[in-house]
Amino acid sequence: MAKTFKIISWNVNGIRAAHRKGLIDFIKKEDPDILCVQEAKAMIEQLPEELINVEGYHFYMSSAERKGYSGVAIFTKHKPNKVATTFGRSYKDNEGRILSLEFDDFTLFNIYFPNGGGESHRFDYKLEFYNETLKYMKRLKKKTNVILCGDINAAHTEIDLARPKDNQKSIGFLPVEREWITNFLNAGFLDTFRVFNKDGGNYSWWDMKTRARERNVGWRIDYFFVNTEIEKNLKEASILSDVLGSDHCPTLIKVDF
């Protein structure tokens, strides 16, 4: 009998801040099988015990070498067969951007992609990270089902942000970034949200400084991708835009295995 996995992904903009704003209550209310968080901005030793030991969940984390920066974590009801923080042996990550859990039926990747802003070398790093991701996922999908979620830090098409014309030359909507998402999909992956919803006006990030969320002037930069072979297993993909506590909101999929 198939089991439905409810998986949530959320850039929490600081896991300790999210904890103070009720992250454990969110977990108890939503009751996901797996919760992936990005931009944790902490080392595991900095976290309170009740966050590491949420009842019913195993906790895994990958932190950046630089304190208070980047980082990803996963709460999972299902103990994985294997945990990794790299793309195989070929690509090492010292910014805490990659965390993968291998299960019997699929491998789940929780990834916080580089923003690419600031000094020019950071955009080069972003493109390198994109290319390493695509290369590794193309290889891996030949062996297992792949679910990749996280903050991609790019919007794909014009309906994925409120003001596409104003942002043609903005990092996060540059042609090379949009092309990477197209290439990723063409390599045999699905943007799960677009399987169920083709409409504009659905965003996952809003600029806090301009109070953009109140006007829904946002960007959809948080994604769940799966390999095309499991499209039939998808039951839902949605954006939990009513959930507050970060400049991002959670995204969700339900998938049967």
Question: Per-residue pLDDT tens for 29-84?
Answer: 999 999 999 999 999 999 999 999 999 999 999 999 999 999 999 999 999 999 99
Catalytic residues: 151
Confidence of residue 168 (pLDDT cuts 50, 70, 90): very high
Q: Is the pLDDT of residue 93 over 90?
A: no
Helices 120-140 and 175-186 cross at an angle (nearest 10°) of: 10
pLDDT, average across residues 144-172: 98
The C-alpha angle with vertex 65 and arms to 137 and 132, in degrees rounded to 5, equals 20
Q: What confidence tens digit (pLDDT) does each residue in 188-218 have?
A: 999 999 999 999 999 999 999 999 999 999 9
pLDDT at 91: 76
pTM of the predicted protein model: 0.97
- Are 76 and 50 in contact, with CB atoms under 8 Å apart? no
Q: How many CB atoms lie within 10 A of CB 89?
A: 6
**Domains of the chain, earliest start first:** 4-256 (3.60.10.10)
